[in-house]
Homo-oligomer: A and B are copies of this chain.
Amino acid sequence: MPSTKDLPAERIILGIDPGTTIMGYGVIRCRGKSQVELVEMGALHMSKIKDHALKLKRIFDRVSALIETHAPDDLAVEAPFFGQNVQSMLKLGRAQGVALAAALAHEIPVAEYAPRRVKQAVTGSGAASKEQVAGMVQRTLKIRTEDMPKDLDATDGLAVALCHHYQLATPKMQRGAGGWKAFLADNPDRIRK
């Protein structure tokens, strides 16, 4: 329940950091501007899967399962737009594509954020280290140290979910976010043309 009439109602955000080796993910529940809590976090490890198509299927299945379990209002994706070579970008594009498609299949609006923007939103610095991001995610979501994962992929997923929450919590965003088209119309800077 929102704490004041000006704040948005409860909102579930699924954050994904899709890669072809590891996909980090996190789900948060937000009430108003400042109440955020952890719902789930995890990382899908695919380094032992040699077949690229099977990796894509795992990504699609996991994102679909997360959507069906948590019924998020939004999917937020960390999406690098540049990379080292065309081969790796084709594979990354496919991984992003299947994660996005799982959201499209469930008619869930998608927001994309460049890695630098996620770091900026969560820590205040676009040049923050993965450890700094993880530390701020832990503090913001009040995660006990013993519950923190050893690798930082799950916290990357939570970070992009938090980044999206901060974006939505601005006055401009509170007006929008009414479905896919309205969402995109309100957020032209979110999606690379």
- Within the complex, what minimum Cβ distance (angstroms) separates A47 from chain B? 13
Point out the residue from B51, B85, B95, B110 that lies within 8 Å of A86, measured CB to CB: B85
- A57 and B90: CB pair below 8 A? no
Instruction: Tell me, yes or no, whether A94 is within 8 Å of chain B by CB.
Output: yes
- Distance of A54 Cα from B104 Cα, bound (Å): 10
For A139, the chain B residues whose CB sits under 8 A away are none
What is the bound-complex CA distance between A61 and B106, given in angstroms? 11
Q: Write the A27-61 contact mask toward B (1 if CB under 8 angstroms, else 0).
A: 00000000000000000000000111110110011
The reply to whether A90 and B95 contact each other, CB–CB distance below 8 Å, is no
CB-contact partner of A53 in B83, B98, B100, under 8 A: B100
Does more than half of chain A's interface fall in helix, strand or loop, or is it mixed? Answer: helix
The interface size bin for chain A is 35 or more
Please give the count of copies of this chain that the complex contains: 2
**A96: CB under 8 A from chain B?**
yes
Whether a CB of chain B sits under 8 angstroms from the CB of A150 is: no
- Residues of chain B contacted by A51 (CB below 8 angstroms): 184, 191, 193
* Alpha-carbon separation in the docked complex, A82 to B87 (Å): 7
In the complex, the answer to whether A97 meets B86 with C-beta atoms within 8 Å is no
Take A87-B81, A184-B51, A184-B54 as given contacts and tell me if A101 and B191 are in contact as well, using a CB distance cutoff of 8 Å.
no
Whether A105 lies near B60 (C-beta < 8 A) is: yes
CA distance A81 to B96 in the complex (A): 16
**Interface assignment of A140: CB less than 8 Å from any CB of chain B:** no
Known: A56-B104, A57-B180, A90-B90. 18 other contacts (CB 8 A): A51-B191, A52-B191, A53-B110, A53-B184, A56-B97, A60-B101, A61-B104, A81-B87, A82-B87, A83-B90, A86-B89, A93-B93, A93-B94, A94-B94, A94-B96, A98-B100, A98-B104, A101-B101
